[in-house]
Chain A
């Protein structure tokens, strides 16, 4: 049953870039992502789902770049949450395969996901407000370097957290 939400999330990830820029190249890339996602959901392998997530992201970036549309935070939050929940739901499907699933699991998942969605939305808007405030302090020419350094710092910090040895 958990594969159904995963498939729905993959469909959302397919639709968002296609609606953002109605260009054949975007649709083709989205289709590749969808195929990888379908393989991942069907076989419950991690690598096709991770690859699908990366392809969807690339497609979304391409669509945004091609459309040159104004910033839409709500859609971006929805896209990010869909990516997270797609990866999460495939992992859960792996865990639940050939298992008796207690009724409390579904209830707990729905509560957790909706709570996290709301929390992410609040965090995003707070972060955006903070970013607008800080943007005034950063010179325009230095902005790309600040962004790149910030992104690299965030990735390294996350990698260190994930990969640190545990006793």
Chain B
């Protein structure tokens, strides 16, 4: 590391030279005297520079947040030797903004003294972001010599998609073997009462329906429905997107998928994920907190990778896309390849819901709002409506969501039929 003269040196040199020239020309000693402080400061450049010794620590309040949340960054500098003036800068990572405080600080330290500063960073979009690359620019006593050092103590912050609370969710047609929140048609252990039948050996006494038994003169038992969970697979279209980050159709789709995953996991369902795009990625269905982290980790990496290759769902293992799973396809329906995949799933008898993130509203939000823009958007909306009606005629449960409105009302308006009935049409 080398200390280099700062631009201030050139200013001082210019003024000193001008003062000395004027002194000679005007033959006034005062101008020599006026030049003396400048000359003395510049003469300090001839001395050997001493680079200050210090220790820098960088702390981040948390390593994960949701979109829109803030992270507090604390940078502390402990001076081992005297530090005349030090500028500490931490450039903000892409996609972040300063919520409070400043990410630059200027400090002067005595030996053994510690100074710190803190600021809050807000991330508007999901993703994995790195913090901890701090640049320190030191100056000598008169600011005529500067040196620069870069400290890298990388800390990754995961920014998960924002979650909207969802209470009413599309109900799966098929349930699985594990215990959950859905009442299964199958009879067995449960709390939901079903039919009443005559007592047979092996029935438990507590199953006896005493009221019916007294009325009918022999023992009767109440059968109960089992409570079962379901497999839900979220299929996210990453083939294409429209809009400006962090409000693209993909970002909105990711938020919808994260909200659905959270809501289904809270119902003890097993939730899986397929990223259907230039690069296929998936997460096997599972339940619990760990599964949420797995899903969120995959969702925050979701990005559009351009490809001409038509992806096939055949590459997805059956354990990920089980035949009895409820598949919720989250898509702006801009790429024909995704429509084909959705139709393929429906034709194979999957319990499929297509949640369409309306690209028209996202695009309308980006435009200036002129009459022509409005007309074009209206025409596009009509064209899309006709297309969605076409998909509905194929038996797909299609749900259009305007991202300006909450997701829950859109989900509540869903009407569905059994896939078997739909296929018969």
Contact = CB atoms under 8 A, between A and B. Distances in A.
A57 B35 CA distance: 10
B24 interface: yes
A91 B143 contact: yes
Contacts of A46: 7-8, 11
B15 A102 contact: no
Interface string B71-99: 00000000000001101000000000000
A76 B22 contact: no
Contacts of A167: 2
A123 B36 CA distance: 9
A69 to B, nearest CB: 9
A150 to B, nearest CB: 8
> 5 nearest interchain CB pairs?
A80-B34, A76-B30, A102-B107, A76-B33, A99-B104
Interface stretch (A3-11, A28-36, A48-56): A48-56
A161 interface: yes
Given A100-B104, A104-B113, A123 B143 contact: no
Contacts of B163: none
Contact of B12 (A57, A77, A84): A84
Contacts of B30: 60, 64, 71-73, 75-76, 79
A20 to B, nearest CB: 9
B13 interface: yes
B10 A162 contact: yes
Interface stretch (B41-49, B175-183, B410-418): B41-49
Interface of B: 2-43, 45-46, 84-85, 87, 101-102, 104-110, 113, 115, 117, 119, 139, 141-143
B102 A158 contact: no
A96 B117 CA distance: 14
Contacts of A163: 5
A9 B22 CA distance: 21
A105 B22 CA distance: 35
A112 B142 CA distance: 9
Contacts, number: 185
Contacts of B36: 77, 80, 120, 123-124, 127
A136 interface: no
A60 to B, nearest CB: 7
A155 B13 CA distance: 8
Interface centre among B11, B19, B24, B34 (most CB of A within 10 A): B34
Interface string A54-93: 1001101100110000011101110111011001100110
Contacts of B23: 61, 147, 151
B40 A120 contact: yes
Contacts of B46: 161
Given A53-B15, A80-B37, 15 more contacts: A50-B14, A54-B14, A57-B22, A64-B30, A77-B33, A77-B37, A100-B105, A100-B119, A102-B106, A104-B110, A105-B107, A109-B108, A147-B23, A158-B13, A162-B5
A57 B15 contact: yes
Given A65-B26, A108-B108, A161-B45, A154 B34 contact: no
Contacts of B16: 154-155, 158
Contacts of B6: 91
B85 A95 contact: yes
B136 to A, nearest CB: 13
A105 B113 CA distance: 13
B39 A154 contact: yes
Chain A, interface size: which category?
35 or more
Q: Is the interface of A mostly helix, strand, loop or mixed?
A: helix
A51 to B, nearest CB: 9
B174 to A, nearest CB: 59
Interface centre among A80, A104, A107 (most CB of B within 10 A): A80
Given A99-B87, A112-B141, A158-B39, A147 B24 contact: yes
B39 to A, nearest CB: 6
A24 interface: no
Contacts of B22: 57-58, 61
A83 B107 contact: no
Nearest to A51: B14
A7 to B, nearest CB: 18
A139 interface: no
A17 to B, nearest CB: 11
Contacts of A102: 105-108, 115, 117
Contacts of A83: 15, 19, 34, 37-38
A101 interface: yes
28 contacts: A46-B8, A60-B31, A61-B22, A61-B28, A71-B28, A71-B29, A73-B30, A76-B31, A77-B34, A80-B19, A91-B6, A91-B8, A91-B143, A95-B139, A96-B106, A98-B102, A100-B106, A102-B115, A104-B107, A120-B36, A123-B36, A124-B33, A148-B24, A151-B24, A151-B32, A161-B46, A162-B45, A166-B3
A147 B22 CA distance: 11
B203 to A, nearest CB: 75
Contact of A108 (B27, B35, B84): B84
A155 B24 CA distance: 12
Contacts of B139: 95
A95 B14 contact: no
Contacts of B13: 155, 158-159, 162
Given A73-B33, A81-B37, A155 B26 contact: no
B212 to A, nearest CB: 78
